[in-house]
Amino acid sequence: MERLGKNRGIADLESPVDSRKNLYSSFVWTDYKAQLQKRVRAEDLPKYFHLTESEKIGIQETIRLNVGTTPYYLSLSDPEDPNCPIRKMIVPRKEESFFSPEETLDPLHEEDLSPVKGLTHMYPDRVLLFSNHECSVYCRHCMRGRKVSDSSERMETADLELCFDYIRNHPEISDVVISGGDPLNLADSKIDWILENLEKIPHVKICRLGTRNPVTLPMRITSDLCKIIESHNTDHLSIFCNTQFNHEKECTSEAKEAILKLLKAGVSVGNQCVILKGINDDGETMLRLHRKLLELRIRAYYMYDPELIPGSRGFRTPLAKGIQIIEYMRGKVAGMGIPQFVNDLPGGGGKVSLGPNWYLGFHKPSRNHVFRSAVRGTYHLSPEPTDSEYEEFYPEISEETWLLVLQNSYSAFKGLGPLGESGK
């Protein structure tokens, strides 16, 4: 019998739906180790998707990181719809096949700011610890593609010990972000060892776990793992978790169960999403996501502008998109559900926050600040304290604008009714 070759195999005999059913039933679904062992690679994608020409080119010619997804995360994607947001984060497209002139491997210059391997010291009081090079899912928009899924970037025990030595010798460091790769892809014993070392450094008060496993492999958040985290979440060290949900389809019951376990271990969970073209780059999609996150008891933290990494042109959006999204969300969800829109400045400048201009300026003659309401679009006046010495600090509003605004403005003495009708 003729052997099945590369171009003729099970993908030709089974539909993506049937292939998925066979995959999902081939192991214990809740076993996170089995999920990792059954991870879908680039060569497997034709079995689980009806691929477009763009996706075929992307798989063959990507200059980004390796392809890999857990069966769980695969199950959230649509095998037929190329516009499925989860699918776009799993399957490369042709935009990944070329290196644009504006792109670079390390736009944030993290390597230049690394005094020892695996440790970035960009801010005076905090460092980023690159714990490992592996993730459960290799997201196509990953900003550390130069390191993630590359075995040469493996962090050995000796490398981590050098990182701890550096932190011990720099008492200004009070906050350590553990990232990667995904730190929760390490064995429980290794996570325990890392947290124990940090807990023993007197000046380290905060530890933040940067993990996408609550999104891509929620069954990894086991009771045993949470016991380890809780054992180090003490008076000496406060442990937080920042994860990355990018779309409401990721907000599953399994994800909520994982988050609740972390919360019961005393770990506050925040979300850092990325604006991604064609996935979540509009106000309504982001609003639905962040409403879902509040239901999962996750507070919004950051919304990132995409980084200038190789092969990322298909994901990047205009800077104005982020400002428009924040403007759309304000007033439609509680403040704890609205992220800060940040740009991590190229060249190692750190993060800066951006937002809509709700503040029009200061009218010197009347000593009033003029604001635009995010909820109603109306204009509102707020006086500067009479003993203030900061009048020269504020941008001045023109007299012409002041006269136009004054006719339809509201203040402490004139309010809006419940349906937008002006008060007396």
Binding residues for [4Fe-4S] cluster: 135, 139, 142
User: What are the b/e assignments for 111-123, b being 16+ CB within 10 Å?
Assistant: eebbebebbbbbe
C-alpha distances out from residue 270 to 153, 171, 262, 299, 328, Å: 27, 27, 11, 5, 21
Q: Where are the beta strands (DSSP E) in 286-399?
A: 299-304, 340-345, 350-354, 359-363, 368-372, 379-383
Q: Which two tokens stand for residue 64?
A: 């980004």
Spatial strand order in the sheet of 299-304: 119-123, 126-130, 175-179, 206-210, 238-243, 268-274, 299-304, 340-345, 350-354
DSSP 137: S
Residues in the chain, total: 424
C-alpha distances out from residue 369 to 310, 359, 382, 396, Å: 45, 8, 5, 9
Q: How far is residue 203's CA from residue 392's CA, in Å, rounded to a whole number?
A: 40
DSSP 385: P
C-alpha distances out from residue 419 to 71, 81, 358, 375, Å: 49, 42, 21, 12
Q: How far is residue 374's CA from residue 358's CA, in Å, rounded to a whole number?
A: 7
Q: How far is residue 129's CA from residue 384's CA, in Å, rounded to a whole number?
A: 45
Residue set of the binding site? 135, 139, 142
Pick the closest to residue 306 from 76, 127, 98, 107 (CA basis): 107
Q: Which two tokens stand for residue 304?
A: 């990132």
The C-alpha angle with vertex 209 and arms to 204 and 213, in degrees rounded to 5, equals: 170
Q: Which two tokens stand for residue 323?
A: 């400002």
Q: How far is residue 153's CA from residue 134's CA, in Å, rounded to a whole number?
A: 9
Backbone phi, psi, residue 287, to 5° = -65, -45
Q: How far is residue 53's CA from residue 59's CA, in Å, rounded to a whole number?
A: 10
Ranges of H-type helices in 315-360: 319-329
If you search the block for the tokens 């776009």, which residue do you land on?
Answer: 88
